[in-house]
Structure 1
Amino acid sequence: MKKHNYSAGPCILPQEVFEKAAQAVLNFKDSGLSILEISHRSADFVSVMEEARALALELLGLEGKGYQALFLQGGASLEFLRIPQNLMHENGKAAYLDTGTWANGAIKEARAFGETIVVASSNDANYTFIPKDYSIPSDANYFHCTSNNTIFGTQMKSFPKTSIPVVCDMSSDIFSRSLDFSKFDLIYAGAQKNMGPAGTTLVVIKEELLGKTSRNIPNILNYQQHIAKESMYNTPPVFAVYTSLLTLQWLKAKGGIAAIEKENETKAALLYAEIDRNPLFKGAANKEDRSSMNATFLLVDENHKEAFDKIWKALGVTGINGHRSVGGYRASMYNALPLESVQVLVNAMQELEKNI
């Protein structure tokens, strides 16, 4: 039976990426060696890293604009502390928008480095909306936000204008929609949502931002060191980087971000239309802030849970159980999820309605 994978991450990737990555595990570039055993200093892998970094900038429209792309380790969670360490001045401060679990985690790490101002939060409403109309202090060293909140199913549809550097955690919606990425000074994203397997994090940073903190930054945490060593300060996660490259190549072949955005909009519209139409379901997030990547929804009557779970499992749907913070269901519709899979989930919702 075909599986329809809605896992929030690690998550679905394109089938052709799985096939090419699997072949590389057995025999990388007809070398007779596996991608898992070649030297990261070999010409074959150096070319992988160079292409991955260049292609990330190309797809984001940031080529030749003073940005560097890095593939690092430690997940987005390590960037929570690496960002203030590299960007917050000694005796400085930073501004944060609190829109969910991961935004809150970033705030906690930043507080270890200096004054951390929360400009707005939707915590009191269990993060069901994106705060708006807040003020960002002009003397902060940077403003940090999270573009998409995987757990709660909300997404920033616009970003504030400010004179200070803007940092954005795009872990769960990078490469999914068209934005003017030059408005951001630092973007970071764990690969395991829209880009590749767990194990590497993409960091895209405007190089002029660095070297201004007066801090003594350990080399392994210093962005300048990673830029100087071209993402090879230490041994990189070769398989995760290679699979990310394959995914970026797949995206480019499809027509880039603009093309995948249209597909994502169609998928999200189909599912949300059913959530709003079907009297047995309701959305968890405010409509104006709903995520096109992670749709969170609930049964109006939890007594129908057993029946609904039986239906969607029988149809091959997997990974839609909601996070414990929200409950209900979460359908993660990342780039590689086909429209067909969304229709199957909609069919399951309609079948429940017929059976009640």
Structure 2
Amino acid sequence: MDTPVTIHPVILCGGSGTRLWPVSRKAKPKPFLPLIGETTLFEQAVGRVAGHDRFAPPMVVAGAQHVDLIEAQIGAGREHRLVVEPMGRNTAPAIALAAALIPDDEILLVCPSDHHIADEAAFRAAALAAAELARDDWLVSFGIAPTHPETGYGYLHRGEALPGGYRIAQFVEKPDLERAKAYLASGEYSWNGGIFAFRAGALLVELAEHRPAMAQRVAQAVAGGRDEGSRFHPAAEIFAAIEGDSIDYAVMENTARAAMVPADMGWSDIGNWAALHDALPRDDAGNSVRGTADLADCRNVMASSDGPRISAVGLDDVCIIVSDGEVLVTTREGAQNVGKLPGAANQ
């Protein structure tokens, strides 16, 4: 029987979470906030890959501005490696950095730091299945079981069966509502949740084929980088010359070896206030309250305050957020556009 391959969790910390303004700010963005429960989304991401003999200590890829938050929240004495990006260049270079820092034959499990997963056992089962496919040089995405006709996510169209998963027949961009309803009804589509498993060497070979300049510069940035305790700093000038791209566009949509494992694990990207509301406990009227709030004749209302009382009467499908002297009121439908507000953009 084959020896089980080691899985290296790679936790990506990027972005400023502007759609969760005014709670999420550049200085302390979404991953480092206790949005669901008492621990932060980053702490939850680290905890999901801890305490299992198949998982190596985590590698975190982040910008310099969040190093102190990461080291404070990762836990005293927890073994880890922190790759400090000189600047953000999207997910493909970030993941390639991690792949270049582990042995070619071992497996990366790429996890965003700001997602919520309710069922950790289901997550680990999917991770182990994905690792088995990845060791056979499949490039594996988690296919999230859709719960409603969501127009804000990309979709994966399931193809032929593979051991523990499926070939990806097609990557589908964010659909309109009618197509999203058709995808849900067919049972053949999953959400693309941004969680991946790759054999490190296989990913780097694919990157060299489809984005050769990026692959070369990542290799040079690693070769010219330096260690500083648990931190690794790629060569800044070389890394700055990389033209950024997402792992989906750079590799996954170009490879002939794209696969998926189905994952029904209570997942949410917590991409806006409406998504957070959906992930929180709610009363019989669909309302959720954090802090002090009085809601009368309200349905599907989220009220969150760090101090002043929120009082609302007769509202449906609204999010009301009070944080650090700022007040946000949005419909659930409008929550996707919060990041376009001047306050959020200039946070």
Q: What is the TM-score when the length of structure 1 is the normalising length?
A: 0.28
Q: Which of the pair is proportionally richer in helix?
A: 1
- Relative CO higher for 1 or 2, CA cutoff 8 Å, sep ≥ 6? 1
